[in-house]
Structure 1
Amino acid sequence: MNTVRAMAAAKAMSVLLLAGPAVAATAPAASPQPPAGAYVMDKAHTSVTFRVSHMGFSHYTARFSRIDGRLKFDPAHPAAMAVEATIDPMSLELNTPPTGFHDQLMSKAWFDAAHFPKIAFRSTGVEATGAHTARVTGDLTLHGVTRPVVLEVTYNGGYPPNAMDPGGARVGFSAHTKFKRSAFGISAGIPAPGSTMGVGDDVDVAIESEFSSKAPPAAKAPAK
């Protein structure tokens, strides 16, 4: 049922996903802490996955592999923190997809990647909700539509620059958000009222991300 599964993938966002970083609150004073400043996303340690209901039988899950982002980190002043991220919808990865399924999801009916080649998130506010948690509000742009979303973020920890990490200081976050895909103009396959036969409107997004104070070295071109 390709059309049904197609809708499952049309929920990605996340991009957004990347708001995870904006939540660093207060870390234990006993250990050295990462300094405030500009951080870049460590793409090797970042993931954005999403899931949607598939006919009420299971939750179809997929992920994106090309993600980028930046973080303004200030653990002493969480409200001053900010994060932005982008996702390439063409990098959508699916478990053993049927032939042509990825192309179907990139078509006009779903992500319409030809016209909207970028999913983006930009934070608009950070509210500390605990010693290591925060609520990050921001604008998510998906399928050419921009809507506000809220991410619940946990600051997992970090460390200052040290000899063991060429990336400099490092911080890590986990985040979660939920929204309705129909709000972004992706509504095909949504079950009729009272039914689960289709692809659910609710999209659950999970983000894991690390940021470092130095950009990683550029990958070397393969030898010819």
Structure 2
Amino acid sequence: MLKKTLAALAIGTALLSAGQAMAAEYKIDKEGNHAFVDFKISHLGYSFIHGTFKDWDGKFSFDAKAPEASKIDVVLKTASVDTNHAERDKHIRTPDFLDAAKFPEAKFVSTSVKSTGEKTADVTGDLTLHGVTKPVVFKATFNGEGKDPWGGYRAGFNGTTTLQLSEFGIKGPGPTSQTLDLDISFEGVQAK
């Protein structure tokens, strides 16, 4: 009887500890403009066009003690592309590239997180872009976490990847413009 009681107590303690180590939920701070989806693509092999997406949102879960349990879910509006040139942006939204009218959203949903260092990880997930879903890996960096001046609790990350546009049914504007470097940087506010 004593052995059964001790075993039950040990299991209960383990379950309680596991419950306390659960990842916290965060909302990406889009409203405070502490979130960016930026990109870079070659222009004729002579320079790079830099741009961003102005309308996107997401959430993630994170526990620094168990980063492998983290998850992220991001959705962006493709029509919000901005390269600081209105005519070019209009062209990027057409069927020649993003076809924003037909594919108004792009989405990334993580499927696994693998730690690669003290503050780095490979975040694998499904990226849906231009109506095509493919697995991609972001090289992620944990920037830090803590209380903010407004009574909230934040965690911040950066993630980079390179996309082969043809894999998503998008033809780059020239032979040097077939890959796109994507850089995502964001803070999340912990749900209360």
| Bigger Rg over Cα | 2
Structure 1's unaligned 5+ residue stretches are: 1-34, 216-224
Cα distance in 1 for residues equivalent to 2:71 and 2:181: 22
> Structure 2 counterpart of 1:110, which letter?
F
Instruction: Provide, for residues 175-222 of structure 1, a one-character-per-residue CA deviation record: whole Å limited to 9, x for no partner.
Output: 11111001000015332xxxx4xxx1111011110000148xxxxxxx
Contact 2:143/2:158 (8 A) holds in 1 = yes
Higher helix share: 2
Superposed displacement of residue 105, structure 1 = 1.7
Residue of structure 2 equivalent to 1:14: none
Cα distance in 2 for residues equivalent to 1:93 and 1:188: 17
Residue of structure 2 equivalent to 1:208: 185
The question of 1:176 aligning with 2:150 is answered: no
Residue of structure 1 equivalent to 2:174: 190
Residue of structure 1 equivalent to 2:119: 132
Q: Give SS of 2:167's match.
A: helix
- Of 113, 117, 135, which aligns to 2:104? 117
Q: Of the two structures, which has the highest relative contact order with CA contacts closer than 8 Å and spacing of 6 or more?
A: 1
In the alignment of these two chains, the number of paired residues is 169
The question of 1:144 aligning with 2:121 is answered: no
Structure 2's unaligned 5+ residue stretches are: 1-21
Cα distance in 2 for residues equivalent to 1:149 and 1:190: 23
Residue of structure 2 equivalent to 1:47: 36
> Structure 1 counterpart of 2:165, which letter?
R
In the TM superposition, structure 1's runs of 4+ consecutive aligned residues that sit over 3 Å from their partners are none
The question of 1:57 aligning with 2:34 is answered: no
- How many percent identity over aligned positions? 38
Alignment of 1:152-163 (within 5 A): 152-160=139-147
Higher strand share: 2
Cα distance in 2 for residues equivalent to 1:188 and 1:209: 27
Superposed displacement of residue 36, structure 1 = 3.5
Length-normalised TM-score, structure 1 = 0.71
